Structure 1
Amino acid sequence: MTATPHTTGKIDARWHTALAQFTAGLSPAALATAYLDWSLHLMASPERQAALARFWFEEPMAEEIADPRFAAPEWQKFPFNIMAQNFLSAHRWWDAATCKIPGVDPKHASIVNFAGRQLLDMWSPVNSAFLNPVVRSRTIEEHGTNLVRGARYWIDDFNRMLAGHPRRESQFKVGKDLAITPGDVILRNRLIELIRYHPTTSKVHPEPILIVPAWIMKYYVLDLTETRSLVAFLRDQGFEVYVISWKNPRAEDADLAMQDYLDLGVRAAVDHLTKAGAQQIHAVGYCLGGTLMAIAAAAMARDGHDVLRSLTLLAAQVDFSEPGELGLFINESQVAFLEDMMATQGYLKADQMAGAFQLLRSNDLIWSRVVRHYLLGERTPDNPLMAWNADATRMPARMHSEYLRRMFLGNDLAKGRFTVDDETIALTDIRCPIYCVATETDHVSPWTSVYRLLLLTDTDVSFVLCNGGHNGGILSEPGREGRPFRAGEKREGAPHIASGDWYARHTLEDGSWWVHWAHWLHAKSGDQIDRRSSQFKPLAPAPGSYVFG
């Protein structure tokens, strides 16, 4: 049965929307329920309370005090070393206080631990101009001008937030500095523009590459700059490359469902390519686009539509049973809270989603920036990836509700309950070879969760684990340092290997996983043929119009 959004009265919905402005979009009821569960069980455990009292005075392990926030030499001197040690001891104590309390729901314990760590990090001595020795030294050196600059930066940022534009305007512009690989829009409908990139080789493989990015972000992260463009790299390897550019939904698009994203998105693009003569396609999906592409592949396999030559999934989950810390924000209370927020506007705003993502890495995305911008008086240098990251998109109400309920809450795809065209699909039906990429420090799609694809499919799967995060690890162009990877292959019918064992058995390889993937694609492709003239009438030059929405 198709999931339907939770609905409440207009007054409740507007109240929850107003409340969300003060909670970063998080449900207070979900937090309170978790806290009540933890606190009641801890109060009923006097032996555990005594153990916690003793734990505070235990010496920390060496690895526990290796916190990069206190790496500067100034933190090793008295009294700042005592402040750092006390702060780290508080972190250790809080972890112990929320770990394995008998009777507490493990997810509730994780939520309480997470919330407490956010409060601790807020009051870290690193964030104080008076307690941070690095800031004190800078203030003495510059006679306080760093704090004056920081105050100006804070006022600028606050005014932008009031105006509804919380991010600084970037000097990097789409179509000028970003998304500049030459191409044409060859299809446009209510939801997508399909972009075809101009080939640069005299011969091309007969199977084109279709890339499906996540609809939560603009596609051009995969065509960032001239030197950091995955689509340009694939084009230069002798492939015809196509990418979907999703429309940024508005209130009138609130009724768009996951079925629409499949029909108007993946299926529309595939049909367009096959009608123009493509017999088979190399399909690629990134993040949520990878989840959607896996759904489409399973539906094609169920229906006997043998159009996929291969399937590549980049930092994409198909099993949401272990989604990492992001899963702490997804429960019935939280989803209902989000649905009320979306009911008042027809979509979920980008900044309403950003709060949860920033909290996942609050030290990197919030507090380190507070120190750098407002205390040290330094602006983070503008760069293309920051410009793209600030160019966020909205989520239509119906689709986002279905996604959260059917994936995060129900895990329907992994459990064989997900329906397409009112019929169930199964990942085990996919017979084409799969290339799956995960990144080691991914806070959105943890690599161990991505790895579960190998447990849910019955075909050849090449699994690659790259150093880096959700975006940086994927953008591992040749020549980029610090991006080694591990690669292994599971043959159809081979026994399953647990993720930890897989990691131990595969050694690091130098170079870019892009090159490794290109060799894999070449091996899965037909012999190259003379470059064909385009069968499509261009509607507009790349990057199209939807990317500016």
Structure 2
Amino acid sequence: MRSSKMAVTPENTSRGTPSDDLAASAAEGMLGPNPFVGLRPRDILATAQQIGAQALRQPALVAEQEAALARELIAVLSGSAECQPPPGDKRFGDPAWQDNTWYRMTLQGYMAWRDALNGFVARSALDPKSKERAQFVMSLFTDALAPTNTLLGNPAALKKIVESGGASLLGGFKNFMMDLLKNQGMPEQVDRTAFEVGKNLAMSPGAVVFRNEVLELIQYAPATEQVYGRPQLIVPPQINKFYVFDLSEGKSIVNYLVKNEFQVFVVSWRNPTAVQRDWDMDTYVTALIEAIAAVRDITGSDDVNLHGACSGAMTISALLGHLASRGDKTVNAATLMVAVLDNTEQSQLGLFATPEAIAAAKQNSTARGVLAGEEMGRVFAWLRPNDLVWSYWVNNYLLGKTPPAFDILYWNNDTTRLPAKLHGQLLDIFTGNLFCKPHALTVLDTPIDLSEVTCDKYVVAGITDHITPWKGVYNSARTFGGNTRFVLSSSGHIQSLINPPGNPKAKFFVNPDPALPASADAWLAAAQPEKDSWWNNWRDWLATRSGERRAAPASPGNERYASVAQAPGTYVMEA
């Protein structure tokens, strides 16, 4: 049975294996504000045409780059070339790329050709924004034509054929046909048979104690005799299922909090269909208000601590702004994880966010009623093709291996949908930077101003995060009023969130000055590094804002809010 299989992760497999590297690289791009705009072929083609036009207009530059490429190729043939892949490029990790003369020349020739094309774009007369798009499109082209993506050009694949007696070829062909039939031609990223929600994922014991049309509210069973009186309510992104907060053993934020004496509740959003096409931000905020009322009634607490990641953090920010406009103090403190509200720091996701592309994205979701999770996943894969497409092309087809069994990748492929109306609102918020403009965004008929949100806040960013750039997260933190602790993890996007204690390589930065200076660089210059995960720092911050300890509840819910299902609930199971 599937449930009997072990949840294989980089922490419980042999360190440094190709499967570990494959999964870890792919995981770094998960959970972002998935490409709400999309990546239209016509925009890629238009950018390619711009590059071609530059070649016609600047023949002298083309000649210079051709001459430079010729010199490099001569150096490759003579054995004096020094061009090497950039650090961290795992495609050329096989020793044959350095030890074998033919492969070494192939590698150096490929790098010289790629550098010549990139050099042309960098020196072209395109404006800065167009140049960024051109660099991206050029990388799509050069990455696709890497020798490692071919059988003869991949020494590891050739060795595998010999070692397996040709079985890897048969396995690769089988994988290719299965992906063609069942995955719309995209290489599968994860061994889906290795996981089952409720069996080896989302395993923390608890119960659904409240359900409305939009969400289920899960209360987790205490693991200690005493608990803090003020409860914690976690709000996941609408674009992913909630159990990113309750992954396999050792990587569960829920389990970590419960073991540290906190009362933990989590929202599990319903996966909408076209029937729910009119759900918008007001719909989700209203559902959260109902969930908070249930949490307060069950725990007897006057208020709650609220925590969210990505679009979940955007939703709780909308809620906080609404509550502040009414003078409502039912949220005592809030945590925002890897979430950008201030869009002035442009990420890769915004490269093709032209007015035409945004209008087309709205029209597409309106016609369908939803924005499909599978569609978002495919677009995101092509934003990072080496990690999310070509690495799996090599693993699944050239090497004939099954995809890795990695919990985060399984979760990321367990996709959800966005209602069309919410999708359109998120696009408007993204393009208009509405959270950062006082009273530009209206929530439940109240124009909001985040500077009026004065409850204590804990904001987490990742220094190598290219999905939600850390400076954008920092600027978002400064949008709020009151006291805010900003914490900068040394990791990227998903590793900043799923960051359990005990990793000797982990560290984070905190600034002892509680004030947030105007410049993110100024904050970092005065920040101090701390070893290990930010989770422990967050635990201590939460403990001082969670009230006095009291006896842990003996059972979930109460008379008004009785248990209706065991965790992880029913909404998470809906496809």
TM-score by length of 2: 0.84
2:139 maps to 1:117: yes
Q: Which residue of 2 aligns with 1:71?
A: 93
Q: Which residue of 2 aligns with 1:378?
A: 401
Give the superposition deviation at 1:413: 1.0
Q: SS in structure 1 opposite 2:497?
A: coil
Structure 2 CA distance for partners of 1:271 and 1:331, relative to 1, 3 Å: farther
Residues 27 and 333 in structure 1, CA contact (< 8 A), matched pair in contact too: no
What do residues 491-527 of structure 1 show as CA deviations (whole Å, max 9, x unaligned)? Answer: 24x533323x444544543222211110111122322
2:523 maps to 1:498: no
What do residues 150-192 of structure 1 show as CA deviations (whole Å, max 9, x unaligned)? Answer: 1122122222236999675323111122111111112111111
Matched residues in 2 for 1:224 and 1:473: separation?
Answer: 15
Matched residues in 2 for 1:332 and 1:430: separation?
Answer: 32
Q: Which of 153, 174, 178 is the matching residue for 1:152?
A: 174
Alignment of 1:430-441 (within 5 A): 430-441=453-464
Structure 2 CA distance for partners of 1:406 and 1:125, relative to 1, 3 Å: same
What do residues 393-431 of structure 1 show as CA deviations (whole Å, max 9, x unaligned)? Answer: 011111111111222x11111233222133322221121
Matched residues in 1 for 2:116 and 2:512: separation?
Answer: 42
Q: Which residue of 1 aligns with 2:569?
A: 544
Q: Which residue of 1 aligns with 2:318?
A: 295
Give the superposition deviation at 1:544: 1.0
Q: Which residue of 1 aligns with 2:448?
A: 425
Q: SS in structure 1 opposite 2:194?
A: coil
- Cα RMSD (Å): 2.7
Q: Which residue of 1 aligns with 2:238?
A: 215
Alignment of 1:61-140 (within 5 A): 64=86, 67-76=89-98, 77-99=100-122, 101-102=124-125, 104-140=126-162
Structure 2 CA distance for partners of 1:453 and 1:406, relative to 1, 3 Å: closer
Q: Which residue of 2 aligns with 1:200?
A: 223
2:510 maps to 1:487: yes
Q: Which residue of 2 aligns with 1:5?
A: none
Q: Which runs of 5+ in 2 are unaligned?
A: 1-36, 73-80
What do residues 463-492 of structure 1 show as CA deviations (whole Å, max 9, x unaligned)? Answer: 222243332331111234543222335524
Q: Which of 501, 515, 525 is the matching residue for 2:546?
A: 525
Matched residues in 1 for 2:187 and 2:399: separation?
Answer: 24
Q: Which residue of 1 aligns with 2:473?
A: 450
Matched residues in 2 for 1:80 and 1:384: separation?
Answer: 35
2:334 maps to 1:311: yes
Structure 2 CA distance for partners of 1:64 and 1:387, relative to 1, 3 Å: closer
Structure 2 CA distance for partners of 1:204 and 1:431, relative to 1, 3 Å: same
Q: Which of 510, 514, 524 is the matching residue for 2:531?
A: 510
Q: SS in structure 1 opposite 2:343?
A: coil
Structure 2 CA distance for partners of 1:114 and 1:41, relative to 1, 3 Å: same
Tell me which amino acid in the other structure corresponds to 1:377.
Answer: G
Q: Which residue of 2 aligns with 1:16?
A: none
Structure 2 CA distance for partners of 1:25 and 1:286, relative to 1, 3 Å: closer
Q: SS in structure 2 opposite 1:272?
A: helix
2:411 maps to 1:388: yes
Q: SS in structure 1 opposite 2:213?
A: coil
Matched residues in 2 for 1:53 and 1:162: separation?
Answer: 38
Matched residues in 2 for 1:65 and 1:205: separation?
Answer: 47
Matched residues in 1 for 2:144 and 2:153: separation?
Answer: 13
Structure 2 CA distance for partners of 1:155 and 1:91, relative to 1, 3 Å: same
Residues 34 and 109 in structure 1, CA contact (< 8 A), matched pair in contact too: no
2:43 maps to 1:30: yes
Give the superposition deviation at 1:26: 2.6
Structure 2 CA distance for partners of 1:106 and 1:132, relative to 1, 3 Å: same
What do residues 17-49 of structure 1 show as CA deviations (whole Å, max 9, x unaligned)? Answer: xxxxxxx95323433444455554564445644
Paired residues, number? 521
Give the superposition deviation at 1:360: 2.4
Structure 2 CA distance for partners of 1:73 and 1:504, relative to 1, 3 Å: farther
Q: Which residue of 2 aligns with 1:229?
A: 252
Residues 511 and 524 in structure 2, CA contact (< 8 A), matched pair in contact too: no
Matched residues in 1 for 2:372 and 2:347: separation?
Answer: 23
Structure 2 CA distance for partners of 1:390 and 1:28, relative to 1, 3 Å: closer
Q: Which residue of 1 aligns with 2:17?
A: none
Matched residues in 1 for 2:546 and 2:261: separation?
Answer: 11
Structure 2 CA distance for partners of 1:415 and 1:237, relative to 1, 3 Å: same
Structure 2 CA distance for partners of 1:545 and 1:478, relative to 1, 3 Å: same
Give the superposition deviation at 1:216: 0.5
What do residues 92-112 of structure 1 show as CA deviations (whole Å, max 9, x unaligned)? Answer: 23333333644x343322222
Q: Percent identity?
A: 31
Q: SS in structure 1 opposite 2:435?
A: coil
Q: Which residue of 2 aligns with 1:6?
A: none
Alignment of 1:172-191 (within 5 A): 172-191=195-214
Give the superposition deviation at 1:118: 1.0
What do residues 211-254 of structure 1 show as CA deviations (whole Å, max 9, x unaligned)? Answer: 01001011011111233211111112111111110000111011
Matched residues in 1 for 2:478 and 2:471: separation?
Answer: 11
Give the superposition deviation at 1:286: 0.9
Matched residues in 2 for 1:476 and 1:270: separation?
Answer: 27
Structure 2 CA distance for partners of 1:47 and 1:459, relative to 1, 3 Å: farther
Q: SS in structure 2 opposite 1:472?
A: helix
Q: Which residue of 2 aligns with 1:459?
A: 482
Deviates more, 1:227-236 or 1:476-485: 476-485
Q: SS in structure 2 opposite 1:170?
A: helix
Structure 2 CA distance for partners of 1:381 and 1:163, relative to 1, 3 Å: closer
Residues 467 and 484 in structure 1, CA contact (< 8 A), matched pair in contact too: yes
Structure 2 CA distance for partners of 1:127 and 1:35, relative to 1, 3 Å: closer
Give the superposition deviation at 1:303: 1.7
Matched residues in 1 for 2:421 and 2:463: separation?
Answer: 32
Matched residues in 2 for 1:489 and 1:210: separation?
Answer: 27
Tell me which amino acid in the other structure corresponds to 1:27.
Answer: R
Structure 2 CA distance for partners of 1:241 and 1:471, relative to 1, 3 Å: same
Q: Which residue of 1 aligns with 2:435?
A: 413
